[in-house]
Amino acid sequence: MTWAAPIVILDLDDTIINFTGMSEECWRVICHESAPGLGLDGGQLHAALMVERVAFWADPESNRMGRHNLSDASRLIVVRAFKALGAGNDEQAANLARLYSDRRHDLIYVFPESISTIETLRARGHRLAMITNGGAESQRGKIVRFDLARHFDCVLVEGEFGIGKPDERVYRHVLKELGAEPNDAVMVGDDLERDVAGPQSVGMQGVWIDRAGTGLPANTTIKPDRIIGALSDLL
């Protein structure tokens, strides 16, 4: 299927680049390395961290704060895990969070099909934009690191613009920048609320990328216009 929409808007994290795919395994390794010095079992520490991590990112206020300061978010998650286990201190929590941040940076990569798909879309005449939530420094840093801006006619970073998805003003701003109407555009991303429901609320199409192949959550009411397993499925 070839998209009729001339404007294709892409998310960044876990859509173009693999940002969270290795995060749990990264934590697992760090927990098993660090647990003996804390008098804990590695599996026990990892389990506690995963519980606190899910709770932290599920909370809207914590999510908003955390995506603008990922290092501090990691530190707070470790602090909460330590508290739940009755172990560790603030300095040790900061050290674990710093170790995680350093290692995770090295694990981030562009999905193999991303650039070729983007280049093919451009060759077919589509105009491209990127909308990414998160802090200005961290998100712009990834865009520069992988030389992505050159592929897009418009790039909107939440930390630079001041608001992020799923606020309608974000999508409307990008459409205005490109001189396009909502029915001329499709948004593609891994987050159902921000990359599907948000765009649909202003009249755009919303495509959900389900790389894990798990299907829609049983409790969701969001209905993507299309579900794909990789960016190349757009072609």
| pLDDT value of position 105 | 87
In angstroms, what CA-CA distances link 215 with 210, 226, 229? 7, 12, 10
Once rounded to an integer, what is the mean pLDDT over residues 67-86?
A: 93
pLDDT of 157 strictly over 70 = yes
pLDDT of 2 strictly over 50 = no
Report angle CA 25, 12, 26 to the nearest 5 degrees: 10
Once rounded to an integer, what is the mean pLDDT over residues 2-6?
A: 63
Per residue in 172-220, pLDDT tens?
Answer: 999 999 999 999 999 999 999 999 999 999 999 999 999 999 999 999 9
| pLDDT value of position 22 | 81
| pLDDT value of position 149 | 97
More confident residue, 106 or 160: 160
- Check if the beta carbon of residue 136 is closer than 8 Å to that of residue 11: no
> Quick one: which of 103, 166, 160, 108 has its CA closest to 134?
160
| pLDDT value of position 72 | 93
| pLDDT value of position 188 | 98
Report which secondary-structure segment, H or E, holds 128.
Answer: strand 127-132
| pLDDT value of position 4 | 58
Average pLDDT of every residue of the chain: 94
Q: Rounded distance, CA 46 to CA 78, Å?
A: 10
Q: Where are the alpha helices (DSSP H) in 88-167?
A: 90-107, 114-123, 136-145, 158-161
Once rounded to an integer, what is the mean pLDDT over residues 46-62?
A: 93
pLDDT band at 45 (very low <50, low <70, confident <90, very high): very high
**Burial tier of 226 (Cβ tally within 10 Å: 0-12, 13-18, 19+):** middle
For the entire predicted model, the pTM comes to 0.87
Per residue in 86-103, pLDDT tens?
Answer: 999 999 999 999 999 989
| pLDDT value of position 1 | 38
pLDDT of 5 strictly over 90 = no
Put the strands of the sheet holding 127-132 in their side by side order. 154-157, 127-132, 7-10, 185-189, 205-209, 226-228
- Check if the beta carbon of residue 234 is closer than 8 Å to that of residue 121: yes
Per residue in 6-37, pLDDT tens?
Answer: 999 999 999 999 998 888 889 999 999 999 99
pLDDT of 3 strictly over 70 = no
| pLDDT value of position 25 | 86
